[in-house]
Structure 1
Amino acid sequence: MTTPILQFGTSRFLQAHADLFVSEAMEAGKALGPITVVQTSGDASRAGRIGALSAPEGFPVIIRGLEDGKAVERELRVRSVSRSLSTQANWEEVTRIFVDEARVILSNTGDKGYALVDGDTVDGVPRSFPMKLLALLHARFRGGGMPLTILPCELISRNGEVLQRLIVDLASRHIPDAMFVSWLTDRVIWGNTLVDRIVSEPIEPAGAIAEPYAIWAIERQPGLTLPCEHPCIKLVEDLTPYERLKLHILNLGHTVLADRWRGEGRPQTECVKDILANSAIRGELKEIYREEVVPGFRMHGLGDEAEVYVATTLERFLNPYLEHRLADIAGNHAEKVVRRIIGFQEWCPGVAMPRLSAIARR
C-alpha cells in the first residue's frame, strides 16, 4: 500500500491530532490515504514506539475532559499509520517514499526541530531535520519534481514561511542549482498552520491521552493539498486571528497562573486544575480575561470571538482529567511573559491592563 502522507515526528501530540484525524477520515472515505511515520531524532528511548505505531490493530487515543460542562471519556483506535521508519536505520526507504509516494508532508519535530548542526551536509544521512528535508526535497526534484504540500505543525508563527526561508537558504548554500531553488518556491506549497490540543500523557508503547478540544487551522493558498477532511481541520483565509486567540488567551492564561505559582512557591506537583480550585485565583483570572484581555481583542474587532474562546479555555483549564503541571508551563517564563503578555499590550495600546502590567514588571 502506498502512503501519500509522510510524517516526520512520532510525538504523542501527532498521535492524538493528525494521526487520529486521518484515521477517522479514512473510515469515512475522506483521506488521501494512510501515513508513513518517520522518527528523525534517533532517540533510542523511543525505538519501541516505531513498530507500535504501525501495528495492524492500531494504537489507542483516550479522550478525557469536559464538553459543554459534562465529563466525557472515550477510547479511539488509530489505524492510519501503515509504516513506521527511522531516518537513521531506513534512510533509503524514507527517500523512496518521499520521492515516489508522498503528496503531503507533516512535521512536528519539537522545540528545537529547526535547529541546525555545525558541519552538517546533505551527504549520507544529514543530522538535522532541516538538512534531512533539504536532501529529500532535492531527491524528489531529481526524480521528476512532482508538486508537494508541506504542513509543518511546529509551534512557530507562520511556520510554513519560516521553514521555506530556512530550506531555500540552505539550498542556496549547499545545492547551488537555480532550477532547484525555483522549484522549491514554485512547486512546493509551504502551508502555514496552527495546531491546538493539549495531549497530557503518553500511552506506552504508542498512544496518548488528550483533551476533547482540538483544532488544526491551515491557511488557504493555491495548490495546497489537505491530508484529509475532518471537522477539526479548518481551511482559513488568515491564521492571524487564530494565532492571537491562542497566544493571548490560552497561552497568556497559562503564564498568568505560572506567575502566581512561582511567586507563591506553590507545590511542584500542582497542576492547572489544582490552582484553579482556589476560587480567589480562578476569580482573578476571569477578571483579567473580562476586563483586560477581551477589551484588547474588541479593539481589533474580535471581541465576540475572544469571549467564546475564553469560555472554551476556562473549560479546558478545569478539565478534571488533565495533569498539566505548572512546573512544566513555567519553563522559560521570562520569554513567555514577553511574547504572551507584553506582546499583547503592544498589540492593544491604550487598553488598561493593570494586572497584566504588574506581571510584566516582575
Structure 2
Amino acid sequence: MQLNQKNLPAVGRSIKVPAYDRNEIKAGIVHVGVGGFHRAHQAVVVQQLLAAGGHKEWGICGIGLREGDRRIADIFARQDCLYTLITRYPTGEVDSEVMQQMTDFLLAPDDKQAVVDRMANPETKIVSLTITEGGYNLTADGEFDLGHPDIQHELKHPNDPKTIYGYLSAALRKRKDKQQTPFTVMSCDNIQHNGDVTRKMLLSFLSAQDEGLAAWVGEEVAFPNSMVDRITPVTTGAEMEYLKDQFDLEDEWPVTCEPFLQWIIEDNFSNGRPDFDKVDGVQFVQDVTPYEKMKIRLLNAGHSVLGICGALMGIQTINACMENEQLRTVLRKFWDEEATPILDKVEGIDLEAYKDSLQVRFSNPNIRDKVSRICSASSAKLPKFLLPTIEENLSKGGSIDMATWLIAAWCYYSDKQIDQNGQSLEIIDAMQDQLNRAAQNTTADALSFLRVREVFGSLIDNENFTSLYATTVRRFYEEPVISVQLQRW
C-alpha cells in the first residue's frame, strides 16, 4: 500500500499513525533543508507537540533550495509529505510511526517567489535551517565569503535568490516593508554557536546588499543558538523493504534513527515560539555554549576518530568500529585525555556518564551508521569538530598527540584513498581533489597537507603543532597499517 493521505486510515490498521487532523495545522515553521536528520529530530519534536493537542500553529512547511532536492520534492508530492520514522533500539526493538507534521513542501528552483512569499507570510514565526556546514558560505577564518559567484549574483540581483541568504533577505525585506514582526532564524546544524554564525553571515551579506535592511535585522531578528543530537544514518533499501515486509507499506524515503534525542535551545525568539520543552529531550536555556561544545568535541569529533580510522581499516559501519578493542581504546583515550580536560562545566550533565552513553549509542548494532557518511565532508567538519580542541590544548599546554595523529591519518586517507586491504574508499568531499593533491606531496613536504589553509587556517604557523605533525605523518607513511599504528596508544 502506497503511503499517502488517502490511504492513511488503512495504513493505520497495521502501523502507528497520528491522531490529529493535519487539515487544522498551520505552518508556523518554514524549514530549509529537509534531510534525514531534520525528519528524525526537529520534525519529530513538532509531531509530538501536535499529537499532545493544541499547538496547531506550529506545523512545518519544508523548503528545498537546490536542484538536488528534487527527489525529496517528487516523493513528498506522491506521499502528501508523509513519511515513516523507524526507531531502532540496541535491544533489537523497533518502533515505526507515520509522520505528518509537514503541511507542504516547496522546491525553490521551480518557483523562487513562492518560497520568498511563504517565508514572508505573517503565519511564519520561525525559519529553521539544516543546510550542513557547507551551506553557510564560511571562509577558513570564519568570515563570510562575499566573492562566491552565487553571492555576487544575489548582490546584483536581489530578486533572483540562489542561496539561503538571498531568500532570507528577500523575505525579511517584505516583512520590514509591511511593518510586520520578523520571523526568528533558527539554525539546527552542527556548528558551534550556530545562531551567532548565521546572524554574522546574514548581516555580512545584507551590509553589502541593503544597509537599511541590515540595520533592521540586527535590531529585530533573533538567531537562537541550539545544540542538536540524534544519530540518523542514511536511509537504505533495507528500511523500505522492512516496511513492505512488516506492514505492506510502500514508503519511498523513510528515516531510521536511534532512540536518543537531545535539543538544547537558547530561549531567544523574535515572534513567539512553540513549547518544544514539553517534549522529552528538549530544553530551553540561557546559554547553549557548554552543551554544544560538549557535543561537538565529544560526539562529533569521536565519530570522526572512528570514521577515519575505521575507513582505513576497511570497517564499514560505526557499530562495527566499536567492536574493535583498539578503536574503543583510542576513542576513549582521545575523549579522556584531550577533549574532556578543556570542556566547560555543563550544568546537569555528568561527563563520564555522557561518554559512557556515547559508547553505547555508537555500539547500537541496529543503527549501522556508515563510516562513509561519517567521513563525508570532513573538510567542513573537522575544522569545527577537531581543530578547536587542538588549538585550545596548544594554548593551554594540553595533550595534542592523538588529535595530531588523526590529522596524519586523514592525510594518508586523502592521499591513498584505499583501505589497508587495498579496497577503494568512498570519499565524499567538496575539497577531495585539493586535499588529494596536497596529501600526495607529503613524502616530499611533510607539511603539505596543512598548507590547505581553507581547512587548517593558521595551524601551520604553530611550530609546536607542525613539529609533532611532521614526525607523526612520517611515521604513518612508514607504517600505514592502522592496527599497528594503534598499538602505540
Alpha-carbon shift at residue 184 of structure 1 (Å): 0.7
Could you list the per-position Cα deviations for residues 263-287 of structure 1 after superposition, in whole angstroms to 9, with x for gaps in the alignment? xx422x6111112212333234334
Is residue 51 of structure 1 aligned with residue 77 of structure 2? yes
2:388 partner amino acid: G
Match of 1:215? 262
* Bigger share in strand: 1
Partners of 1:7 and 1:36 within 8 A in 2: yes
Unaligned runs of 5+ in 2: 1-24, 138-147, 241-250, 408-468, 474-489
- Which of 223-232 and 304-313 deviates more? 223-232
- Which of 151-160 and 114-123 deviates more? 114-123
Choose which of 40, 43, 49 in structure 2 pairs with 1:25: 49
Match of 1:330? 375
Is residue 169 of structure 1 aligned with residue 216 of structure 2? no
> What is the CA–CA distance in structure 2 between the aligned matches of 1:260 and 1:272, rounded to whole Å?
10
Greater RCO structure (CA 8 Å; 6+ sep): 1
Residue 157 to residue 49, structure 1, CA distance change in 2 (3 Å): farther
Alpha-carbon shift at residue 319 of structure 1 (Å): 0.9
Alpha-carbon shift at residue 223 of structure 1 (Å): 4.7
RMSD after superposition: 2.8
Match of 1:103? 125
Residue 147 to residue 277, structure 1, CA distance change in 2 (3 Å): same
Choose which of 12, 22, 37 in structure 1 pairs with 2:62: 37
- Which of 148-157 and 19-28 deviates more? 148-157
Aligned-residue sequence identity (percent) comes to 21
Is residue 260 of structure 1 aligned with residue 309 of structure 2? yes
Partners of 1:34 and 1:82 within 8 A in 2: yes
Could you list the per-position Cα deviations for residues 154-180 of structure 1 after superposition, in whole angstroms to 9, with x for gaps in the alignment? 22222222222222222232224x2x3
Match of 2:478? none
Match of 2:316? 270
- Which of 115-124 and 242-251 deviates more? 115-124
Match of 2:480? none
Residue 133 to residue 302, structure 1, CA distance change in 2 (3 Å): closer
Could you list the per-position Cα deviations for residues 168-197 of structure 1 after superposition, in whole angstroms to 9, with x for gaps in the alignment? 222232224x2x333212221111122111
Choose which of 296, 300, 305 in structure 2 pairs with 1:247: 296
> What is the CA–CA distance in structure 1 between the aligned matches of 2:30 and 2:379, rounded to whole Å?
36
Match of 1:237? 286
Unaligned runs of 5+ in 1: none
2:267 partner amino acid: R
Choose which of 219, 231, 251 in structure 2 pairs with 1:198: 231
Is residue 119 of structure 1 aligned with residue 153 of structure 2? yes
Match of 2:188? 153
1:286 partner amino acid: R
Residue 341 to residue 128, structure 1, CA distance change in 2 (3 Å): closer
Residue 14 to residue 336, structure 1, CA distance change in 2 (3 Å): closer
Alpha-carbon shift at residue 336 of structure 1 (Å): 5.5
Partners of 2:73 and 2:105 within 8 A in 1: no
- Which of 309-318 and 335-344 deviates more? 335-344
Is residue 88 of structure 1 aligned with residue 137 of structure 2? no
> What is the CA–CA distance in structure 1 between the aligned matches of 2:39 and 2:352, rounded to whole Å?
30
Match of 1:320? 365
Alpha-carbon shift at residue 29 of structure 1 (Å): 2.5
1:110 partner amino acid: T
> What is the CA–CA distance in structure 1 between the aligned matches of 2:41 and 2:271, rounded to whole Å?
20
Alpha-carbon shift at residue 28 of structure 1 (Å): 0.8
2:118 partner amino acid: I
Alpha-carbon shift at residue 249 of structure 1 (Å): 1.2
1:181 partner amino acid: A
> What is the CA–CA distance in structure 2 between the aligned matches of 1:24 and 1:166, rounded to whole Å?
32
Choose which of 14, 37, 41 in structure 2 pairs with 1:13: 37
- Which of 72-81 and 288-297 deviates more? 288-297
> What is the CA–CA distance in structure 1 between the aligned matches of 2:74 and 2:227, rounded to whole Å?
29
2:107 partner amino acid: S
Residue 33 to residue 285, structure 1, CA distance change in 2 (3 Å): closer
2:132 partner amino acid: G
> What is the CA–CA distance in structure 1 between the aligned matches of 2:253 and 2:132, rounded to whole Å?
18
Residue 196 to residue 227, structure 1, CA distance change in 2 (3 Å): same
1:319 partner amino acid: N
2:324 partner amino acid: N
> What is the CA–CA distance in structure 2 between the aligned matches of 1:198 and 1:305, rounded to whole Å?
20
Partners of 2:184 and 2:271 within 8 A in 1: yes
Residue 8 to residue 339, structure 1, CA distance change in 2 (3 Å): closer
SS in structure 2 opposite 1:221? coil
> What is the CA–CA distance in structure 2 between the aligned matches of 1:258 and 1:88, rounded to whole Å?
34
SS in structure 1 opposite 2:105? strand
Partners of 1:98 and 1:140 within 8 A in 2: no
Match of 2:143? none
Is residue 189 of structure 1 aligned with residue 236 of structure 2? no
2:223 partner amino acid: W
Partners of 1:53 and 1:84 within 8 A in 2: no
Q: TM-score, normalised by structure 2?
A: 0.65
Q: How many residues align?
A: 350
Alpha-carbon shift at residue 296 of structure 1 (Å): 4.2
